[in-house]
Structure 1
């Protein structure tokens, strides 16, 4: 099968989840003898590149004939749209593809991310635009109602017009059907496949572990809730004096986070910026994630692959796909800071339990191997025939 994976960003395997997963999927498909290419559609200068053995096309979105020509010349059998919640890109593919070419759209975030977190999202948006006085109960209800109607229409169109629809977890199906109930009739072409991950060839028993809590991710409030991250560390800073906190990542809240630490005399916290996290995973014992929503949570598997035990809010359905409660990590009801602090302290004070969860997490990573991921994608491909 000849496969084209589409995304809107320029390809950077070290950047966001969609780019990293796209790069991994192409390599996996090629391993199983599928001719696979990547097409980036956006405000690009049109060109063709070879990226680490992968054919990569950049297509200017205003010149749709380019996409049509690529799909025809490469004899593409299947297009996987990695920006699958884009009605515009879906329409472009439908317009450009050969008649026999199949379309698979993917959804890279949990469907109810706005519904579950609309109050915080609206508050942050209005405050940023300096119209906080409009943030009333009536306004929020109107915005939420509009959003539900809009998602119903868009998701219904996307799923019905494509040959398969892939989300990051089977657990997202009830969320999808809540937003667009008619899609229950199309359940046979809706799939849940987590992001693939290849566990590093290491022995976690020999890693130089230290008393370090680690965070890896963007520094924002709307999704990552780094405000809660620092409230938690403020408590732990006082109660766990022999532990340090390392923060990896960049974002709009970084300056405020540093200011918060200065105002509250929080030392033993280091901001490393955006760096390759692997050597930090090797040393950290506990991983903190405070996100309000996620699509999957690649960092959880990354942490487990280095024996770093995750503690996180059970704030999105796919969290429990990765973390099995009290076996390879700890899930906290959102957003109970007291319990988050207490559970972290329990791990800090119980090295035997921490070691067991670390070992279990390391084994858990194998469930997301390239081989396991391809088995699920093969089921999707079979459904297209």
Structure 2
């Protein structure tokens, strides 16, 4: 059975610009190759790359989903394209979910909402979130057990309200991993559990073997100090570099923390570290022997599996539940307590200085990554489409 599918997203259609965009591109490519008709609607006016797999529509006025005219154009596109399925990549954006929820009542399509980040991003990082959101005076006032409990209860109330709105308006709510369901139940209990399932993100392919590796520890990601914890990159390297003579630390990515990193490297004269800025990461995965990621939380850490698909074992923190489902601690990944830089540095040294164990971990990384190829993940989407079309 062939279907007509519309993806809805707020950022520009550019697979190199972020995880949501990359996931949308990969799925659109897969669905098109399976014979489905695919369209995309972005709420960004510009910044799009050429659309090779399907038809791209985008807002014609600024203001994103806050502009009623852009919502009207989304509705116009959906009515004209007449989809069987609409995949809402932005279910937390109230105007989008509200408009699509109403539209599906008068037009015969199935609305799928996709979780694209951890539901516990605040719960597991409450104090840091409060510090970023509150003025210094209020943070000092509320940064105590009573204040943190009040902040958590307020967050739980507001998040519960958002999640119930999402579940009520979508026919299915697709999480990124089974552990996300535990997070979901923390907020809404068993509310509309019959609508909930998990389908992970995918990687295009897995290399047959690790290939020729260099003495490189690699990090790929946006540089910020809240979610990505880029502030831990330099302390990590300083803690292990003197024990890893001949090794280099390569950082691929850009973001608001880049300037701070450059300044610290210069002032502290930190050697054997290279900041590459924004680059396509594939050639770096190919050369790297070890991949490290210090994130506080991720919906689904695409770069971890991309690195593993090139035979890179992973160093990361046990800071979000999904990670322990995605990788296998002690075989293809080595996880440490958040945010113990010294422990992660020790893991890096142990892996880098034991060639036999490192090669074993590199092979295990390839095996694990094979669970998430686009063909295997795409089959899960096809099964979902078939099931819902028959209901």
- Measure the CA separation in 2 of the matches of 1:31 and 1:147: 42
Secondary structure of 1:51's partner? coil
- The aligned residue for residue 216 of structure 2 is 212
Distance (whole Å) between structure 2 residues aligned to residue 54 and residue 383 of structure 1: 24
1:115 to 99, 120, 123: 123
Alignment of 1:27-46 (within 5 A): 27-42=29-44, 44=45
Out of 110, 114, 118, the position equivalent to 1:102 is: 110
Counterpart in the other structure of 1:52: 52
Hey, what does 1:267 align to over in structure 2? 271
Matches within 5 A, 1:188-267: 188-199=194-205, 203-205=209-211, 207=212, 209-267=213-271
Asked whether the equivalents of residues 206 and 369 of structure 2 are also in contact (C-alpha less than 8 Å), the reply is no
Question: Does residue 82 of the first structure (1) align with residue 89 of the second (2)?
Answer: yes
1:309 aligns with 2:316: no
- Cα distance in 1 between the residues matched to 2:129 and 2:118: 15
Please state how far the C-alpha of 1:133 moved relative to its aligned partner. 4.3
Tell me, what secondary structure is at the counterpart of 2:184? helix
TM-score normalised over the length of structure 2: 0.90
CA 1:252–1:135: 2 relative to 1, 3 Å: farther
- For these two proteins, the number of residue pairs brought into alignment is 377
Structure 2 runs not aligned, ≥5 long: none
SS at match of 1:94: helix
**Alignment partners' CA distance in 2, 1:134 and 1:263:** 35
Correspondence for 2:174 among 141, 163, 166:
166
Q: CA RMSD in A?
A: 2.1
Which residue number in structure 2 is paired with residue 359 of structure 1? 363
Secondary structure of the 1:113 match is: coil
Evaluate the alpha carbon distance shift between residue 132 and residue 166 of structure 1 in structure 2; reply closer, same or farther with a 3 A threshold.
same
Return the TM-score normalized by structure 1.
0.92
**Residue 373 of structure 2: which of 344, 369, 374 is its match?**
369
Question: How far is the alpha carbon of 1:182 from its aligned partner?
Answer: 4.0
> Cα deviations across residues 64-99 of structure 1 (Å, max 9, x unaligned)?
332222212211111110012222210011233443
Distance 2:354 2:226 in 1: 33
Q: How far apart in 2 are the matches of 1:283 and 1:182?
A: 46
Runs of 4+ in 1 over 6 A off after TM superposition: none
Measured after TM superposition, the shift of residue 372 of structure 1 is 0.9
Cα distance between partner residues in 1 of 2:279 and 2:137:
33
Question: Any conservation in 2 of the 1:79–1:104 contact (CA below 8 Å)?
Answer: yes
* C-alpha distance 136-326 of structure 1, shift in aligned 2 (>3 A): closer
Deviations for 1:126-163, whole angstroms, at most 9, x for unmatched residues? 46x88654553254433322111001111012112210
Residue aligning to 2:17: 15
Structure 1, gaps ≥5 residues long: none
What's the counterpart of residue 2 of structure 1?
4
- SS of 1:149's equivalent? helix
Q: Deviations over 1:150-197 (max 9, x none)?
A: 0111101211221000011111101100011142xx222211111111
